[in-house]
Homo-oligomer: A and B are copies of this chain.
Amino acid sequence: MRVALWNRNRDRHVRTIYREGQVVKLIDQTRLPLELVIVECTEAGELCEAIRTMRIRGAPALGVAAAYAFALGAEEAGGDAQAVLAHLDEVAALVRRTRPTAVNLFWGVERALAEARSAAANGPLALRAALWELADRLADEDVALNQRLGANGAALISEGARILTHCNAGSLATVGWGTALGVVRTAHRAGRRLHVFVDETRPFLQGARLTAWELEQEGVPYTIITDSTAGHLMARGEIDLCLVGADRIAASGDVANKIGTYTLSVLANAHRLPFYVAAPTSTIDLSTETGAEIPIEERDSSEVLSFAGVRVAPSGARARNPAFDVTPSRFVTAIITEVGVHSAPYEITLEEAVRAGPHPLPPDPDRHAGSPP
């Protein structure tokens, strides 16, 4: 894994993951905003390690990263197409073990495995080419569908809106443009006046580090707050709506997202504020019936007990560090995807959304058999 400097791409928005030749490059999100560093991966194992350590994160970005891991994996394997496929089964196991909650990761695995199997008849070279082509296509498609999602969501944002967001659902959580922040970006570029309150989002500080960095680059006015300040601002009438991303949306409309999202949804409900979730249809997992079935990743306690190498808690201290929580569909005003804006009854509207989306895969109970590392 080599590190290189980054050049902003020509799209006027950040590209989180891309490739040059057979090298996959990604922005190291653990080092933003203080340093902008590009990690270069030439092996599937390196990319999986980058996923596990959250150098790349965000459900849609993980879907594409999974596809690139297969392209790298296919290059590693010698022999005929069957040998490559056998190695890709190992890659699949490796990718599935990285992070259990974001369904897009498992979706990326399934897309890549299906592509590999169908291309195998034409030999190993064609198989490898097909996997690179798939990953590139999913990456480009991600940006395009986020822009459609942004346009769908921007219609919900009034002039002067004060928007509360949590974690990072921006360019950095996707290949580019973003989901929740994509809505903000689209509305802002359309001339809408708005202000974003950014939850800092402990323990990983995706809000203070990543969302603030993106909004700074985009020129959108914003204010960082600690996660426990949101309720106070709502009580004072300083927030108009909540807008967050998602890591997995169950058929029922229950939403797994960054820890703290559930608390925001309870607060929004108590203050009668709209609570919007923005995510591509690939984040909707019809094979997960309700939020209770979604595995919640528990990360290492050191993320809570230290920061930037500085220990904050006494020695001997223990911590819990669940990375996600589940917001029940009754607190979700609407789910914004690239195909539209969906509200209850979610059992019906989300199935329609998936059918209308670019990847109407049939539900498959084995599809997300990931387990925590």
Question: Chain A interface (Cβ within 8 Å of chain B)?
Answer: 33-34, 199-203, 205, 208-209, 212-213, 216, 222-233, 235, 259-260, 262-263, 266-267, 269-270, 301, 304-305, 307-314, 316-322, 325-326
Whether A262 touches B311, Cβ cut-off 8 Å, given contacts A203-B226, A224-B304, is: no
Instruction: Please determine whether A308 and B317 come into contact, CB atoms closer than 8 angstroms.
Output: no
CB<8 Å pairs between A and B, sample of 25: A202-B226, A202-B228, A203-B226, A205-B312, A208-B304, A208-B317, A213-B314, A216-B314, A216-B316, A224-B301, A224-B313, A224-B319, A225-B319, A226-B321, A228-B228, A228-B260, A229-B320, A232-B259, A232-B262, A232-B322, A263-B267, A307-B307, A308-B308, A308-B310, A310-B310
In whole angstroms, how far apart are the Cα atoms of A265 and B218 in the complex? 36
Q: Which of B270, B305, B311, B322 contacts A229, CB < 8 Å?
A: B322
Number of chain copies forming the complex? 2
In whole angstroms, how far apart are the Cα atoms of A260 and B263 in the complex? 11
Q: Which residues of B contact A317 (CB under 8 A)?
A: 208, 212, 216, 222, 224
Q: Which residues of B contact A325 (CB under 8 A)?
A: 229, 231-232, 235
Q: Which residues of B contact A266 (CB under 8 A)?
A: 231, 266-267, 270
Instruction: Please determine whether B231 and A263 come into contact, CB atoms closer than 8 angstroms.
Output: yes
Q: Shortest 5 CB-CB distances between A and B: which pairs?
A: A228-B260, A231-B263, A33-B314, A308-B310, A232-B325
In whole angstroms, how far apart are the Cα atoms of A320 and B305 in the complex? 24
Instruction: Please determine whether A305 and B224 come into contact, CB atoms closer than 8 angstroms.
Output: yes
- Seed contacts A226-B321, A266-B270, A308-B308; 16 additional CB < 8 Å A-B pairs: A200-B202, A202-B202, A205-B307, A205-B312, A208-B317, A216-B317, A223-B318, A224-B301, A224-B317, A225-B304, A229-B322, A231-B325, A232-B322, A235-B325, A266-B266, A307-B307
